[in-house]
Amino acid sequence: MNTILSMFISLPSLQYSENSFIFKFIPFVSNFFALNLGIAFFLYILSYISGAILIYILSTLFYSIFQLILVVDTKIFSLFRFHINSLILNVITTEGFSDSVTLGKGTFLYFVFISFSVIAFEIAINLFAYKLLTNKVVLSNTVKRIFKMQFVAGLLLIIYR
């Protein structure tokens, strides 16, 4: 679900590519699957050290931060046609930042709305996953097969990229 959310957030950046649909869609899917898989692998390793509640909290936190950075990066890319880099970080961390860049109330309210939406979505996803893993939610075999097929398809996209 996080891969789908990541792709939905970054969908506007696909319009700036001049390649055909298939040549820009396959890397698009595999990149976001790999990034989300990296976070999941890190949390999987942490699950051996800590309890389920802490993993639930950390998962919500890490994925929310990742998705919010993705929102900011997508917005920066739509404005300047490049991603977050040292130039952007230098402009933001410079002392006179507010002299050259001013954020209006609409921009601030938009980011607050998007932040609350992403955090609520992550809480819902992770609560469902927590209930699923503790056997409080029962899934049919068909749904389980669909999850397995999506996982294998994502791995194949990464391998054959």
Interval 133-160: pLDDT, tens: 776 655 556 656 655 665 565 555 445 4
Residue 138's pLDDT is what? Answer: 55
What are the φ/ψ torsions at residue 33 (nearest 5 degrees)?
-65, -45
Report the alpha-carbon distance of residue 16 to residue 39 in Å, rounded.
Answer: 27
pTM of the model: 0.71
Report the alpha-carbon distance of residue 51 to residue 23 in Å, rounded.
Answer: 42
* DSSP 8-state assignment for residue 84: S
Q: How far is CA 44 from the centre of its chain?
A: 17
> Helices 21-47 and 2-10 meet at what angle, rounded to 10?
140
Residue 145's pLDDT is what? Answer: 63
Residue 155's pLDDT is what? Answer: 55
The residue written with tokens 């919010």 in the block is 68
What are the φ/ψ torsions at residue 111 (nearest 5 degrees)?
-65, -40
> Which of the pair, 8 or 65, is modelled with greater confidence?
65
The residue written with tokens 């917005």 in the block is 75
Residue 112's pLDDT is what? Answer: 83
Residue 161's pLDDT is what? Answer: 39
Residue 160's pLDDT is what? Answer: 46
- Give the tens place of pLDDT for each residue, 103-129: 778 777 888 888 888 888 888 887 777
